[in-house]
Every structure is written in structure tokens, then in C-alpha cells.
Structure 1
Amino acid sequence: MAMYRKLGKKTKLRKALLRNQVTQLVYKGKIVTTEARAKEIQKIVEPMITLAAKEKDNYDTVTVQVKQAKKDKDGKRLKEEKDGKKVSVYETVDKQIRKDQPSRLHARRQLMKFLYPVVEVPAEGKNRRKNTKEVDLVAKLFDEYGAKYADRKGGYTRAIKIGQRKGDAAMMVVLEFV
């Protein structure tokens, strides 16, 4: 008996497919896929959520002093003239940052090893490149899903059957977080 489903794909293709679908499930919270793929995705996502729930509060809050550029009401940097050149004006502010404990850092790296990076690009507009931002899925796992499922012991996802696919009659399911 096999430990996993091969899904009719070679190893590299199967791993890439599962990584992509796990990443999209964490990012969007719900995906539509086949029943066999959903069962494999559940095997991967459930331990991730358990790890995130276990390590969700395992950090220290540290206050650091940061130099930050002063900005006007429009969000542009304030500049002053020094030695004939225009330079930005900076101020020192206190900032609270989270410093991971070693076990949380290890968990973060374990999760980052499997998830693909996700980039959000705005749909329309002239500043599409400027407004593009990368989504931190590991932080989403710790902050959102870890906090949500902290008191739950497994069973974080559910697969709802929605019928057969028209082309090959494969059973389709909606895989979502509970």
C-alpha cells in the first residue's frame, strides 16, 4: 500500500502541483480541485496549521529606534538644503518589532520551505508596478490561522463534493478551511 497518491504525475510535477495548491489554499482560504488532490493537500496543510497554532505566541516584542524620513501631508519626503544639495530630513522613532524564539523561527523556515511566494498585483492603474506587493503567507499562517485554530485539535479543512467534472467525470470538491 502506498503512503501517498501519485496523481498520474512524475515526482517533480506532482510536488510542484501540490505546493501550488497548498499555497493557493493558504492565500485564498478555498480552492476547487479533484477529490484525490484534495486528500493529498489536506495531508500537507493540516500539520502546517498545527505547527502554526503551536508556535503562534512564541515571540518576544522588542523596542528599537529607527531613522525614518519625515513626510508631508501628501506622503512625499521633506527635503532641506545642505551644502547646495537637497537631502531628506530624518527623525528617530521607537518601533515595536517581533523577534521570533528559536522554535518559531525553525517553524517559520519549515513553512517557507514548502510555500511559494505570492505577489499581489493591482488589476488596473498606472502604478501597477509600484503598488505590487509580496504577501507574507507564513505570517498569515501564524497570525490568522494559528490564532483561529489554537484550541482545535485537527480537522482544520473540509472537502465538500460539488459533482463530477464534465471532461473526465472526476469528482470535484471545494477544499476550504473550517
Structure 2
Amino acid sequence: MRHQVFGKKLNRDIKERKSLFKNLVSGLVDKGKIVTTEAKAKALKPLVDKLVSIAKKGTLASKRQLLAFFQRREVVNKLEDTIAPAFKDRQSGFTRIIKKGERLGDGAKEAVMEWVDLPARPAGGPAGRQGKIEVAPKIEKPEEKAKVQNDKK
């Protein structure tokens, strides 16, 4: 019987598991979605729900709780300023898990974890870059032109 079992161990001790979850949640907050294994995504979902619920409170105590977990002020600010207000009407279920398939290297089942109601980031890549990067046309050197003409003869 599984009395008082907290969740999945993921073949790690408590420090490794806490570090893994902190990094995965930080990546989710920073990038909007993460690609990981199904088991990790399923184990992470309740933690993300709890952290977003804490961020929705908006109190000083809740900010300190989030800082104690993340230890990165940028992540806490983004969670409180952009993500939590987007979920003000939603009680739980802030993320979705989309099954992706098996990884080629080891055959592990992969999944994409992303926010449910947040608008997607623009397709321009990182936030600072807008539009496509133009590639300069290739300029042929005189030596290459002569070499091409000699080959045709």
C-alpha cells in the first residue's frame, strides 16, 4: 500500500530531485515551454500548480517563498508580473503535457510541458531579435572565376 507517498523519486536523492525541479520550473517560466521526459513532466505538474498559486497571492510573504525556492529574482518577477495575472480566473491546471514520442538515444518517452492560457511568444526567436536575419550575397573572387572558366574548357 502506498500510504504517505509524496510522488516520484526519479532515481535521485532529495537534493538532486529538488535541483532538477528548480531548473525545470525555471526553464518553463523563462521560455514558456520545456521538453523533458513524461515522468519528469508528470512529477513537475503539481509543483508548478503550487508555485503559480503562491504567486497569484501577490503578497510579500509569497514573494519570499518563491525567492526561497528559485533563488533567482528574474524568475520570481516574471512569474509574479506576467504569468500569475494571466491565470487570475483559473484555480488550477496551469500547464498542459503534450506527448511527443520516443527519444532516439535511449528510447525515453518525451513530452512538451507548456502553459495553458498564455499567448505564445513571437516566432522571431529570442525577445530582443525581430524578423529574419539577412544573409549577405556571396562575392566571388577573381581567382574563383578564372578557375570556373578553366574547368569548363
TM-score by length of 2: 0.69
Separation (CA, whole Å) in 2 of partners of 1:13 and 1:137: 20
The runs of at least 4 consecutive aligned structure 1 residues that moved more than 4 Å come to none
Partner of 2:8: 5
> CA offset at residue 31 of structure 1?
0.4
Select the structure with the greater relative contact order (CA < 8 A; seq sep ≥ 6).
Answer: 1
Partner of 2:107: 169
Partner of 2:17: 14
1:3-43 alpha-carbon deviations (Å, 9 max, x no partner): 21010112211111111111111111110000110012111
Identity of aligned residues (%): 42
Q: Is residue 140 of structure 1 aligned with residue 78 of structure 2?
A: yes
Partner of 1:29: 32
> CA offset at residue 172 of structure 1?
0.3
Relative to its length, the structure with more strand (as a share) is 1
Q: Which amino acid aligns with 1:15?
A: K
Aligned residue among 114, 127, 134 for 2:69: 114
Structure 1: where are the runs of 5+ without partners? Answer: 56-103, 118-134
Separation (CA, whole Å) in 1 of partners of 2:24 and 2:45: 10
1:28-70 alpha-carbon deviations (Å, 9 max, x no partner): 1110000110012111111111122232xxxxxxxxxxxxxxx
Q: Is residue 152 of structure 1 aligned with residue 86 of structure 2?
A: no
- The structure whose Rg is larger is 2
Structure 2: where are the runs of 5+ without partners? Answer: 117-153
Relative to its length, the structure with more helix (as a share) is 2
Count of aligned pairs between the two proteins:
113
Q: Which amino acid aligns with 1:155?
A: G
